[in-house]
Amino acid sequence: MSSTNSSYEYLKRFAESLPSLISLIVILCSVLLAIFCYVLMPDSSPNANTMNLSISLQKPGFKVEVIKIPQQNNDDQNSWIEMLFTGRERAYKEIAVSKWEIKNDSLIYFLYTGIDGELGMENRIPLSELHDGRGGEVEDLDKYIETKTYWLGTDRYGRDMLSRMLAGTRVSLSVGFISVLISLLLGITLGALAGYFKGWVDDLIMFLINIIWSIPTLLLVVAITFALGKGFVQVFIAVGLTMWVDAARIVRGQVLSAREYDYVEAGRALGFSHSRIIFKHILPNIMGPVAVVAASNFASAILLEAGLSFLGLGAQPPTPSWGMMVKDHYGYLVLDAAYLALLPGFAIFIMVLCFTLVGNGIRDTLDTKESYL
């Protein structure tokens, strides 16, 4: 009962910190966006990579009429689960038009030029060719012609910025989550072994920690990336292998203190194995400080991934990484399309800030532990 009351007091204390609570809500909303991004974003193709160069660099709120021409060979058999995780190839090709009309059983359209009052090249397509891929005459032109709104505009390749931003949320959170998981597995294990056994085990692990600690993090990440190669999976491993030292040092210090407690001595007297004492008795009682480090490492992982992608060493095109989006458009900062680089940069800033504030909230909550004993 006292444990339940203590947990309630910790949650209450954390909720009293408004910035931390707001940050936690933002993170939870971002997680939901990352999971269901392909359901929510306008361009649900894999990596939101549908290009239309005729409408590149359009401002937020841009509207244009598009004609959807069905592809001859398309497969709509993707399951809902596959669509949720990987998106779905479009069953039609979109063409932005300035004007269209029906004449002599044909659809005549003029390509979009971006210049008011100027019509692009004239094209003609028989109405009989507007079908659903399985034959049959067109019945309703509204199915094939619509007005699209690009709420955040388009990038230099004519891709929907809103869709790319939403898909980038999944990339950043995935890198953060898996990298932190790798770092915690390594850090907690090595730190616990060093703190519990002390002696030569502690000396060896601390020697390794000091070596890793002495190398600049970004340089170490770049070196590991060069060794493993460029790619999305390599970023997980590279970032995770460079951030475990923080967790290891904190866990080591906590275990050094906890190993002298009475319940540890009682476990030894009862003949419990070392692994049982470490993982079932000591670690559950020292996870508070580890949670603070995990939140901090999550923010660092997002920054490192963005930096690697900006340098061309992280996620590779067409993966919609926020860092790569900044790299592709930083040249427009001095032009009238600065938002193309500022939007993903602002998203990185908000995500890192939220994890930092949550980490601070956890730390402040744990600092009040003595008042509840």
Residue 212 pLDDT more than 90? Answer: no
Tell me if 77 is assigned to some domain.
yes
Number of domains in the chain: 2
Tell me if 42 is assigned to some domain.
no
pLDDT score for 89: 81
| Pair 338, 201 in one domain | yes
| Predicted structure pTM score | 0.86
| Pair 152, 166 in one domain | no
Q: How far apart are the first and last CA of the chain?
A: 13
Residue 77 pLDDT more than 60? Answer: no
Q: What is the spatial distance between Cα 248 and Cα 194, in angstroms, rounded to a whole number?
A: 9
- Could you list the residue range(s) of the whole structural domain that residue 91 is in? 50-158
| Pair 256, 240 in one domain | yes
Residue 189 pLDDT more than 50? Answer: yes
Residue type, 198: K
The angle that helices 339-366 and 18-35 make with each other, rounded to 10 degrees, is 130
| Pair 237, 336 in one domain | yes
Residue type, 304: L
| Pair 79, 115 in one domain | yes
The pLDDT tens digits of the residues spanning 104-163 come to 777 888 888 877 667 777 788 877 777 554 444 455 666 788 889 999 999 999 999 999
| Pair 292, 338 in one domain | yes
| Pair 206, 347 in one domain | yes
Tell me if 68 is assigned to some domain.
yes
Backbone φ/ψ region at 153: left (φ over 0), alpha (ψ -120 to 50), beta: left
Domain final residue, candidates 158, 181, 208 = 158
| CATH code of 187's domain | 1.10.3720.10
Domain final residue, candidates 135, 158, 181 = 158
The pLDDT tens digits of the residues spanning 10-60 come to 666 666 678 888 999 999 999 999 999 998 999 888 888 888 888 989 999
Q: What is the spatial distance between Cα 179 and Cα 325, in angstroms, rounded to a whole number?
A: 21
- CA 188, 191, 194, 197 dihedral sign is negative
pLDDT score for 372: 39
